[in-house]
Amino acid sequence: MNYQKLLKSKKFKIAVWGTGYIGLSTMVYFAKKKVKCVGYDINKDKINKINSGVLPLADLENWFGFDIKKLVKSNFLKATSNYKNLITEDFLVHFIAIPTEKDGKPYYKPLLNVLNNISKINYNPKNPPIIIVESTLAPKVSDKKIIPFLKKKKKIVGKNILLSIAPRRDWFIEGGKNLENLDRVYGSTDRQSTKVAKDVLSIVCKKLHVASSYRVSEMVKSVENAYRHMDITLANQLSLAFPKDNIREVLKLVGTKWNVETFHPGIGAGGYCIPLSSRYILSQVKNINKLSLLRETIKTDDGMSKSIANSIASKGLKKIGILGLSYKGDLKVSVLSKVIPLVKSLLKKKLKVRLFDPYFTKKEIYKAVKVKTFNFPKDLQNFDCLIITVEHRQFNISKKILEKYLKNCRLIIDHDGAWKKYNLKNNYHLSGDNGWI
Ligand SMILES: NC(=O)c1ccc[n+]([C@@H]2O[C@H](COP(=O)([O-])OP(=O)(O)OC[C@H]3O[C@@H](n4cnc5c(N)ncnc54)[C@H](O)[C@@H]3O)[C@@H](O)[C@H]2O)c1
């Protein structure tokens, strides 16, 4: 049976478990291809917003570049807070897009919760449903958790349930790096699951790469990000080893070599994927000395905030302003943002810290970092040190205003080069240049 045809017939639908960045984008892209999608989430506010045609994640509006109202009106996009609505025979596909980490560690309670719900499904033996896991998994999780759990619930993969592991790579900041255009790897448990996963994914994804098994596709996600984790951390180690040299410039020029990417030193790697990847891999290795590179990567990456705080304190700076809580510009995501340990390290040094991020309320900021916010740009005059951690578009203000309010500032560290164009005086440093740390 061709699942693509069945889905396009509109008699069958796609269920999406978790309607955050990953799940919502799955729903929207399939709905755009005229496939009916229903998302389930434990967050009722998200459900209500989706059903009224409003994006629950406002920062995705630019990324999508279109309005979801039409898709809701035409019944291709829907959400529910009752999981029972998703376990009927007409749901042929179950995308899993729930979180798989908590406090920087692999965390599988939501995954097992969703699998438990899916395993209650009534299915048609002619078209067994397929589970496509989009959430990031540590290596071996399918063998250790997913397949045994389904077996316990009398679901045998390849027989009465199909399974594919298809991790995501979207970059929610740049519109083009999306579900449609990015290369996508998937791997399944058996031949039928492989065929069905291809039928389904190719409705939206233009560049599919099939892995020989789910074990391979599962591992690809962690390994590709562990490479980035090491690269970013090497940039930081170089900067710590050569603080008087402009490592940022060195690495920029290194990046002109045809097979080397450009990385720059900074506060460390943040977000869901990169800082977790090395941990995900190590969590499944008995002797972690065999992967000492990843062990050292985690150690150095986690130590960056302390090194930066020590350097700032040693310069006699006392009042620190931070611009940005998100781990990336123009995104409201503070998950594993390195700004959080940076603030902690600065506070440990008994420095006075305030933080402003236009995407977060003062309550959200206090909850995340336990410091107060400030008025931007007027209160910049209160700081003798300023760290711009990300390039939010709201930080783009006139040079004249900046110069007026930065008179008392003796050190400016700019992580993403948000203010590079202003040619501010010599107390301005790009992270990684000579004198930033
Ligand atoms: N955001 C990214 O850039 C990105 C990229 C690649 C992979 N991933 C991975 O995708 C997964 C999801 O990430 P995200 O960014 O969409 O997270 P998110 O926090 O934006 O969304 C997760 C959603 O799942 C919901 N949820 C939690 N428990 C649930 C449950 N038991 N049942 C149903 N819904 C539940 C939450 O309410 C939330 O809306 C994670 O494994 C993440 O590592 C994320």
Pocket of ligand 1 (CB under 6 A): 17-23, 40-43, 46, 97-100, 110, 113-114, 134-136, 168, 170, 172, 272-273
CATH fold for the domain made of 3-212 = Rossmann fold (3.40.50)
> CA dihedral in degrees (21, 26, 28, 34; nearest 10)?
180
Residue 308: which of 334, 342, 275 has the closest Cα?
342
Q: Has residue 185 got a pLDDT over 90?
A: yes
Tens-digit pLDDT profile for residues 314-357: 999 999 999 999 999 998 999 999 999 999 999 999 999 999 99
Is the separation of the CB atoms in 200 and 7 below 8 Å? Answer: yes
Query: By the 8 A CB rule, do 52 and 69 touch?
Result: no
Is the Cβ–Cβ distance between 412 and 386 less than 8 Å? Answer: yes
pLDDT at residue 259 above 80?
Answer: yes
3-state secondary structure of 401: helix
What is the position in ligand 1's atom list of the atom closest to the CA of 276? 43
Alpha carbon of 221 to ligand 1 centroid (Å): 15
* Closest-CA residue to 111 (of 168, 67, 150): 150
CA distance 15 to 211: 24
Kindly report the protein residue whose alpha carbon is nearest to atom 36 of ligand 1. Answer: 18
Residue nearest to atom 19 of ligand 1 (CA): 20
CA–centroid distance, 18 to ligand 1, in Å, is 6
| CB within 8 Å of 71: residues ≥ 6 apart | 28, 31, 32, 77
d(CA 68, CA 76) in angstroms, rounded, equals: 10
Cα 130–Cα 136–Cα 141 angle in degrees, nearest 5: 75
Q: Where are the domains of the chain?
A: 3-212, 223-430
Residue 46 CA: which ligand 1 atom is closest?
39
- Which CATH superfamily includes the segment(s) 223-430? NAD(P)-binding Rossmann-like Domain (3.40.50.720)
- For residue 375, the CA-to-ligand 1 centroid distance in Å is 32
Confidence of residue 298 (pLDDT cuts 50, 70, 90): very high
> What's the 265 CA to ligand 1 centre distance in angstroms?
28
What residue's CA is closest to ligand 1, atom 9?
135
- Say what the pLDDT of residue 34 is: 97
pLDDT of 62 reads 78
Per-residue pLDDT averaged across 343-372, rounded?
A: 98
Q: What is the mean pLDDT of residues 68-77?
A: 96
Residue 64 has pLDDT above 90, yes or no: no
For position 65, what pLDDT does the model report? 81
Residue 8 CB neighbour total at 10 angstroms: 15
The residue nearest atom 1 of ligand 1, judged by CA position, is 21
Residue located nearest, by CA, to atom 7 of ligand 1: 168
Q: What pLDDT, on the 0 to 100 scale, is given for residue 272? A: 83
- pTM of the prediction? 0.93
Residue tagged 């029972």 (tokens): 84
Confidence at residue 172, expressed as pLDDT on a 0 to 100 scale: 84
pLDDT in tens, 260-269: 999 999 999 9
